[in-house]
Amino acid sequence: MRFTNTVLALCCFSAFGADIRVAVRDGVPQIQVGGTAVRPRWFWGGPTTSSIAIRQGEQVIDVERMPLESGNKTLTFHFRFDRKPTTIWLDRFEVLDITDGSALMPLDDFDKATGPIPDGWTFFPPDERNTVGAVSVDPNGGADGTAALKIAIKNPPAGAVWPDFHVYTRATTMNLQEGHRYKIRFWLKADTATTLTLGVYRPASPSFITMMGDGRFQQQVAMAAAVGVDFVSPPCPMPWPKPGEAPDWSGVDMAMRQILQVNAKAKIVPRFGMAPPTWWYQEHPDDVMQWRENGREHPRTFSVSSRAWRRDACAQLNQVIAYLEEHYPDNMAGYHPCGQNTGEWFYQDSWQQDFHGYSPVEEAAFRDWVARKYANDAALQQAWRDHQVTLASAKTPTPQERRDAASYGMLLIPGAAQPVIDHNLFLQDDMADAVLELARTVRTASQGQRLSVFFFGYGYEFASMGRMSACGHLAARKLLASPDIDILCSPVSYFDRELGGGGHAMIAAESVMRAGKLWLYEDDTRTHLAAGGSLGGLRYHAGNQWESRQILLRNTGQEIIRNLACWWMDLMRNAWYADPALWADMQALAPMEEAKLSQPRPYAPPVASVFDEYSAIYTNKGHAVTQPLLAQSRHAFARMGAPYGQYFLDDVLAGRVDSRLVVLQNPWVMSAEQRQQLRQALAGKFALWCHAPAVIDPARGIALTASQDLTGFALTRLEGDASPETVLATDRGRELGLPAEWAVRKDTPLLFAVQTAPADDVLASWPDGSAAVVLRGNSLFCATPQLPRELLRLAARRAGVHLYTDDECVLYSDGVNVLVHATHEGPVTLRLPQAAMVFDALNGQALTSTAQATLRLELRFGETRIVRLQP
């Protein structure tokens, strides 16, 4: 598709409302509307679909819906069932206008069906991607033994992912009338209990548009507005017409109208999908991702390397922003472009770990990147140790080369594995650069007056991948350095988010804030109102209203303490947040937050969890190390009894981290200059060195002597066919509170023993007697990838960090507010930093009558309490 500068200038008008941007005040990024700081609490949702519990056996389903538009509209009715083996028979389908008694869609009883599937019905996907569903006519399976549509669902083959299998009616034009109510009625029989999600859509490119709702989306918008939450983020269609065709703005207008009918003051941040329509793929067959040696089907996905996609996507984004600012200037607050895997700007199917990068545009983009890095052929040949390669002939390493690249355990060796290292670096840069082009479009099209919002930076979370270097999220610093980004966001971690869990950030959230950006939690908690069944990472389901409230209080209270933002997300648009009690808690949190808005103070926790993006790019098949050391360690940090923050290593190197205890989790790859900077930055602090610090120098390769120069600890690699599976605390370690033993994953690819000095305290040993955990002066070395909670507590005590409690619980604090989330039934005794009066942060009730140094809280499992300290 071809666009000119005329199109890119469409947004040049002066109809904007108040500026809505992130601004830094007293070191704290805040959302400001017309210069006034506002609570960064949003609601995310859209017109709701009907999730219906289906019992085993026969039943008649009646669902009432309301149209979102009037006029002759092309509609399809979509049926999705739980992802499990089930057989369903569907009969006597009809749609009735309750208001005037007419039939919107006449009765279809399948008795006259011919062929394998009735003419008016179809299913998706219709090709080899459908490995789970079969649709046919059963002549005797329906009501009273008549014909029925039979839908048989089975598990996909081992190792394959579930496709988005669903059955739907073929597109039919129907006359809708806003204000009328329609009843969707059908007979259904199931051989096992399941859940049906029923949606009504208008086919559109590149995605379908919801055409009927049940009012529960607007109900949630109204509930949010009633407690002062006016920011709303809805999914919004992205018109992407063929050249010469006019864009269809009806879906965009409908998305806005649904919100403004309920809350005229709403500040709207629409979410756009940036995937192109089908016709674009047909015109650009080479501009897609291409995998090799995977044995699996992958969805057709645009490549972020495609300059044609970047150009056209930016032009369409520019155009939709221009339209919205012209027609809704007082209500637009920002824009959230989304793309790639689940719209979150990591490479499609990253979790499957298949190798991509082989389409023409991807190969060309990699060559361009290589040419920018290396001055000439000679420099490239020296770096890649290949006298045949040239800047013009450089290719993406083959899957075999990437799989078997020269590694030191799970760390790629510079030089020997340089083509693979370079390709890993390219993957991060290319994804970040694509996001930045969209961000510049948002900034320009909105004349710098609106929020620019993007998913990015899930380093801690993606440590659970087999090759986290394949994700595309390891160049977050590029986005943090950009003036075109206001907010970065991610879901609450899918690890340890349930009742009694920690509710963690996926990124180095405190580094985001120190860069002047706002970090936003997408809180897609499955409340008690969510339908049953499994949903990817959202397997946990709050069992009742009380559980929902405790989880949301934990998450939102933590965000307030850390100055972070959030939206509550009705992810499946099933009205997960249509409960006034949930919003009453949001209102109860307002005084706590407003105090922080009026007198902002940066969150300055005494403990720093430190993540290095650059070192993560050097990992290869390092799951046994990266998952426990980076992803799962958040479990221990949240339960250590002291507040902690999450930082990038470069902030530590630059002296921007003031924490007393610095936990250096993965600084595996460091240059001589960085090692010198780190030595200076750690002066006067207590360092907890983890696993294998600085064992790789990007210029020299394996560098154990450099590691010793940095940390003071000499390391000896543990050799052998299998790694030890246990580390054992010594008598001294147990005396200082360490557990008697803890596990290490079998076949961990890189482990070391610590060479000890006479004055060292050896706190834990490998089974062969060599040292695994050593205390020396103002530093502690833990050679195991696991970080027990007790080890963090020991390091904190040695660092002089105040521990609020000896009882296990999730704890966050900014020094004034203390949040406790119970991980067990029973009391939690808080040891306050100084004698203080204590108040309940939600209702203001005094919990002590005099200043006290301790506070005992009697808690149920999963209960959240937030107290305010007044010295």
Bridge-based pairing state of the strands 752-755 and 607-611:
unpaired
Count the Cβ atoms, other than its own, within 10 Å of residue 27.
Answer: 14
**How high is the pLDDT of residue 532?**
57
For the domain that residue 560 is a member of, what is the CATH number? 3.20.20.80
Helices (H), 261-306: 278-283
Residue 62 within any structural domain of the chain: yes
Instruction: Specify if 547 maps to a domain.
Output: yes
CATH number for position 725: 3.40.50.880
**Ramachandran bin of 145, using left for φ above 0, alpha for ψ from -120 to 50, beta for the remaining angles:** left
Q: Is the pLDDT of residue 840 over 60?
A: yes
Say if residue 219 is in the same domain as residue 351: yes
Per-residue pLDDT, 552: 98
Give 722's pLDDT tier (boundaries 50, 70, 90): low
Higher per-residue pLDDT: 681 or 127:
681
Torsion from C-alpha of 637, 638, 640, 643, nearest 10 degrees: 100
Question: What is the signed CA dihedral for 327, 330, 331, 334, rounded to 10 degrees?
Answer: 90
Tell me the average pLDDT across 371-396.
97
Q: Is residue 232 part of a domain?
A: no
- Up-side HSE of residue 341: CA atoms within 13 Å toward CB? 19
pLDDT tens-digit map of 355-372: 999 999 999 999 999 999
pLDDT at 13 over 50: no
Confidence of residue 50 (pLDDT cuts 50, 70, 90): confident
Q: Is the dihedral of CA 395, 401, 406, 410 positive or negative?
A: positive
Domain boundary among the residues 598, 628, 646 is at 598
Find tokens 């000679």 and name the residue.
378
Of 328, 284, 329, 291, whose CA–CA distance to 310 is shortest? 284
pLDDT digits (tens, 9 = 90+) for 535-576: 555 678 899 999 999 999 999 999 999 999 999 999 988 899
* pLDDT at residue 12, as a whole number: 37
pLDDT digits (tens, 9 = 90+) for 284-316: 999 999 999 766 778 899 999 999 999 999 999
The answer to whether residues 485 and 563 belong to one domain is yes
Residue 700 within any structural domain of the chain: yes
CATH at residue 855: 2.60.40.1180
pLDDT tens for residues 183-217?
Answer: 999 999 999 999 999 999 998 877 788 898 899 99
- Domain assignment of residue 694, given as a range: 607-799
Give the burial class of 483: count Cβ atoms within 10 A of its Cβ; 0-12 exposed, 13-18 middle, 19 or more buried.
exposed
Query: Do 459 and 506 reside in the same domain of the chain?
Result: yes
Domain count, the chain: 4
- Whether 776 and 827 map to the same domain: the answer is no
User: How far is 27 from 44, CA to CA, in rounded Å?
Assistant: 28
- Does 291 share its domain with 422? yes
The dihedral formed by the CA atoms of 182, 183, 186 and 192, expressed in degrees to the nearest 10: 110
pLDDT at 114 exceeding the cut of 90: no
Q: Tell me the average pLDDT across 409-415.
A: 97
Instruction: Summarize pLDDT for 83-107 with one digit per residue, the tens.
Output: 999 999 999 999 999 999 999 999 9
pLDDT at 158: 83
Q: Is there a contact between 744 and 784 (Cβ–Cβ < 8 Å)?
A: yes
Q: How confident is the model at residue 14 (pLDDT cuts 50, 70, 90)?
A: very low
Considering the domain architecture, whether residues 199 and 311 belong to the same structural domain is answered as no
- Is 845 within a domain? yes
Do 222 and 204 lie in a common domain?
A: no
- For 633-668, letters b (16+ CB in 10 Å) and e give bbbbbbbbbbbbbbbbbbbbbeeebebbbbbbbbbb
Task: Answer yes or no: do 657 and 769 share one domain.
Answer: yes
Q: Verify that 474 and 569 share a domain, yes or no.
A: yes
Of 444, 806, 815, 414, nearest in space to 604 by CA: 815
| 516 and 590 together in one domain | yes
- Angle at 199 (CA atoms; ends 196, 205), nearest 5 degrees: 135
| Pairwise CA distance, residues 870 & 804, whole Å | 16
Query: Among 799, 829, 855, which residue terminates a domain?
Result: 799
SS3 for 478?
Answer: helix
Mean pLDDT of 251-272: 96
pLDDT mean across residues, the chain: 94
Provide the percentage of residues in the chain whose pLDDT is more than 70: 97
Does 804 fall in a domain?
Answer: no
Reply yes or no on whether the pLDDT at 780 is more than 70.
yes
pLDDT at position 3 over 60 = no
Is residue 402 located within the same domain as residue 549?
yes
Report the 3 state secondary structure along 821-841: EECCCEEEEEEEEEEEEEEEC
Q: Is the pLDDT of residue 9 over 80?
A: no
Helical (H) or strand (E) element with 459 = helix 459-462
Does residue 309 share a domain with residue 197? no
Give residue 471's Cα distance to chain centre.
Answer: 12
- Boundary of a domain, candidates 767, 799, 831: 799
**Distance (Å) of CA 404 to CA 71, 281, 441, 620, 860:** 60, 34, 40, 9, 51
> Could you give the 3-state DSSP secondary structure of residue 20?
strand
In a domain, 186, yes or no: yes
pLDDT on residue 1: 38
Let me know if residue 311 belongs to a domain. Answer: yes
